[in-house]
Structure 1
């Protein structure tokens, strides 16, 4: 049921009256209460001050104990018929000299006053309590010989009961308000009746005018301004309606323009093809615009960095050189008129032609100025776009201008989005292969290229070498000058390393301060020459530290040859790694060049590791450890990742990095995984663990038909909900097994398990996986997380991965969270979970976790 204006006015008046009544009561009551309490505090202070002054004057003349007691009783009796109560407390120093007096037992507040010597006002619901310390003066020490100036000898307590005064005032105020409250309601009723009659008469005039409009052609006959309903507000409303009618006359006739806009907007769908060929996409949009508007060109402006902008100009046909120059100058002038482009930045111009078989005729420069419609924004939008515009003969047609402005506003976001996805996809593909700090290849690409080079060498029957390069004592640099300086030192060393190898040699940062190189086909002497050149160049790397000292470093290099030292790529790397450690043990700053004895020793060490791994499997020495995974926003532990360790004979634990590659080469990694998983499930059951448990799987399980069957048997045996188990596979390990992986993941999901992609963003198929697989979690590559505070590109990758995952309903986990600052940055980008040494180190104890 609709409300009438009269009823609405009365309802509002009553409501406002009630609200004002309550508000006025609360405000006045609060002000009065505060005033009474402030006055009471002042009175209490005066009473205490006067009491003390009286006591002080009497004490100066000396008094007996009887006089003291009489004084206290007289002071207290003064307030018998008042809301005040007076009490005087004697301190311990006075009692030691003059004995105790009859007084109430001291509570904590009185004792605090003795201790602090400060006056204290304690407010209570129904009154005040004022404590006034009696601090010793110089002349007090003549009698109080055991005190010092400033010591608290006593406390005067003044209490006042305010409840009767406040209650009486509130009752009087309520009486007055109750008498005044009906007056606004009565007034509102009279005003409502009066306004109702006037408004109904005025609305009748408006209704008569509207009833005359029955079809579009009637709009030409409507003249609201000829009517006057008698109210200025309604007169203004009729003026606005008249303006609306005049606008509708223009909009109602050009249906083709609206249909064209709808058709064009339907083309604003971003696909992978659009992203890949975004310039061709914009060129096609220009041709679409020409179906309804004779447009010569479309341009967009992108912010590359603080001082450089890209101007992308799309021409319908080939423009003459003078037209290009004139058009560029017109865009530059439009940008110069905007204050946020001052000073004028460097602008890089790129021209594109939509139809190559035609040429634009010469255009008058003044026409270009008049006919160019542009939209420039103060701050970059998606993809760094700051402006877009079209050059066409549209200025004399308001309707066409309106449609073009709408198209430009939409294009500003569409083109920016396409450019952003194009840029981030290209950068992601690039940095999936690169170390962000040094711009060298990363560890994953090194392994792929090493395996590839070994295959080529085998087919071509030639040899090559691997160098493992490690900075000596780099930890001391980090500890002394901080990780920021350490990163700059690593970047400087990487530049020196890049300049020291041959064209075609492969360089990579293996991790931390360790680098690797693959030296292509050559004789045995060449790798040693390259290694010696690298060692000598490294000695020249110097960086000035924050304290002004010049920091240098030396390196140790290990060398291994294919096929002399190994025919498996991982064994070849392990051999070079052992040679690097040999160089360190022999004094550092040298090259570990293998001898026949070294070959025997290294393979003996590899054999020893194989024996240790096999023995650990046989003797059940595989130990699971658990690293917490927390909510990024709250720090609440919700999951753990299970990691494999081997317990040595001395009780210490061997890290996975020491035995995983050996176990993979031996073909028993899946057995270690299975044993570790069974122990982890047993621990879940023992501790009644309620969180999620992440378990890493080796690629070998993909081809083992009994894996899922055996895993299902274990969760049933230990009474574990499969939905609390998340299996992780790394992106790099799954690239070559796509179809097998797809079947495996689908089977996992059917059994109720969850699935996660580890090191997301590190390989080439990140988006392919999350598009085709039912992924529950993605663990973002740790290198992106570690550097996101200092590298804007890494921060952009993390933010875009987070946004994409949210759109797809996939939860995100940040790895390598090593500090509070990184955790806050991770939470700020919307990432769900975090894992790293800052949030918790791996432990044999499975700590409680809250279910999600």
Structure 2
């Protein structure tokens, strides 16, 4: 099936050829008419005119050939639109109607390039492009602009709202999410977003990546949030400035001191909750994440100063590696010495720190002044396993996968092994999402130290003081 992008490229080159040839043709015709209308025109005049026209033609052609290198509208590998041309086309379409933008990603392209070579990676890009094009053309979408934005990320543009294409996207992923191309495993995912609330292409691209970041474990994600980006940013900044936070707690069953996990949401101007998946990427983008996490730590430390419980909260590893943040954390415990030993910082990091020696020293400094540490996604994230051998930590929290399958014998055997490993490394073990009596009994038999879930207590909002 023919690509819409190929048709557009051919028409673009035809227009470019006209731009080269038509001015020369018109100049030649005009020159010959003027020459032959002169009564004294001779052969010498004709030769001189032809020579001048030839020089002009050669110069003009070479100039336009050089200029055409700056006017490529398609990618040389996949023959999809370049981002620059795609964005121009988007602005043209978006003037008259709602547009849906889809992003389809080859999630393992980096691994393919490393394992099979860049040439095979390029062939995968071409094959995936053909699958995308053929699938949607088979659904009677004849005009399908496709852009290879970067790496293995393709952006598609449809006319109409996202509800019209959501089932189509799910069907595409059901067919191609995991497939084999040239004996190479290829995994895809997809995201949809329309322009009802997000109008600018830069904001759309940013939002697509925010959705992707917030949901790496789902095959497809459709943005159902109706908050306009400008209003969201204004609401988030206002909540941050006035520290409008919703604080939720969940108690756990522990072998030692009672523990409560603390989670936060922002409260918008109209009293609505803003979920972390919306405001965390925004805070990272505008450089306000450090301010936000300082507020969280201050709130939790102030809660712990007059309590018999320990409080656990999640902070980003990048913040913990910041020396200024450590100084702030130290000053908090100096102001509230009663909170020492009651704050558990949950560390969840997807990538192994390249400066592991320095990070180990920083974790030791936090623990020396009175903070405790927990590694999250134990058994599910290899980084947690790597950090367990590098750091002295107080807790490791099992990945939720093990809780969901805790009634299965094989999972129980794995939990048992991981539990022994953690204990031998000096860490207490922690399991979450325990929902029934049978799971509780199994967790107790496996000698897990901390148990959390709705079976013991549901999440509750902290009462305002």
| TM class, shorter-length | 0.5 to 0.7
Q: What is residue 624 of structure 1 aligned with on the other side?
A: 247
Structure 1 unaligned residues grouped into runs of 5+:
1-457, 465-500, 508-518, 536-558, 848-852
From 448, 455, 462, the equivalent of 1:838 is 455
Structure 2 unaligned residues grouped into runs of 5+:
1-74, 82-104, 112-122, 170-190, 205-227
- Is residue 748 of structure 1 aligned with residue 326 of structure 2? no
Q: Aligned pair in 2 of structure 1 residues 733, 672: CA closer, same or farther (>3 Å)?
A: farther
Q: Aligned pair in 2 of structure 1 residues 502, 639: CA closer, same or farther (>3 Å)?
A: closer
Distance 1:614 1:459 in 2: 43
- Is residue 782 of structure 1 aligned with residue 400 of structure 2? yes
Q: What is residue 148 of structure 1 aligned with on the other side?
A: none
Q: What is residue 763 of structure 1 aligned with on the other side?
A: 381
Q: Post-superposition shift, 1:843? A: 2.6
Taking structure 2 as the reference length, what is the TM-score of the superposition? 0.55
From 785, 791, 802, the equivalent of 2:419 is 802
- Is residue 521 of structure 1 aligned with residue 125 of structure 2? yes
- Is residue 600 of structure 1 aligned with residue 217 of structure 2? no
From 252, 260, 279, the equivalent of 1:659 is 279
Check the 8 A contact 2:262/2:313 in 1, yes or no: yes
Taking structure 1 as the reference length, what is the TM-score of the superposition? 0.32
- Is residue 793 of structure 1 aligned with residue 413 of structure 2? no
Counting only pairs closer than 5 Å after superposition, residues 139-154 of structure 1 correspond to structure 2 as none
Distance 2:326 2:365 in 1: 8
Q: Post-superposition shift, 1:821? A: 2.4
Q: Post-superposition shift, 1:748? A: 0.8
Q: Aligned pair in 2 of structure 1 residues 505, 622: CA closer, same or farther (>3 Å)?
A: same
Q: What is residue 174 of structure 2 aligned with on the other side?
A: none
> Secondary structure of 1:671's match?
helix
Check the 8 A contact 2:320/2:326 in 1, yes or no: no
Q: Post-superposition shift, 1:811? A: 0.3
Check the 8 A contact 2:252/2:450 in 1, yes or no: yes
RMSD between superposed Cα atoms in Å? 4.5
Q: Post-superposition shift, 1:529? A: 4.0
- Is residue 682 of structure 1 aligned with residue 302 of structure 2? yes
Q: Aligned pair in 2 of structure 1 residues 749, 594: CA closer, same or farther (>3 Å)?
A: closer
Q: What is residue 590 of structure 1 aligned with on the other side?
A: 168
From 237, 241, 251, the equivalent of 1:614 is 237
Q: Aligned pair in 2 of structure 1 residues 800, 526: CA closer, same or farther (>3 Å)?
A: same
Check the 8 A contact 1:670/1:698 in 2, yes or no: no
Counting only pairs closer than 5 Å after superposition, residues 479-628 of structure 1 correspond to structure 2 as 521-522=125-126, 526-527=131-132, 529-530=134-135, 564=149, 583=162, 585-586=163-164, 589-591=167-169, 600=199, 603=203, 605-628=228-251
Q: What is residue 816 of structure 1 aligned with on the other side?
A: 433
- Tell which has more relative contact order, 1 or 2 (C-alpha 8 A, sep 6+): 2
Distance 1:610 1:728 in 2: 27
Counting only pairs closer than 5 Å after superposition, residues 628-707 of structure 1 correspond to structure 2 as 628-631=251-254, 638-685=258-305, 688-707=306-325
Q: Post-superposition shift, 1:563? A: 5.2
Check the 8 A contact 2:245/2:267 in 1, yes or no: yes
Check the 8 A contact 2:247/2:462 in 1, yes or no: no
Counting only pairs closer than 5 Å after superposition, residues 155-304 of structure 1 correspond to structure 2 as none
Deviation sequence 1:517-576 (CA, Å, 0-9, x none): xx952486642545799x9xxxxxxxxxxxxxxxxxxxxxxx997655xx699xx79x99
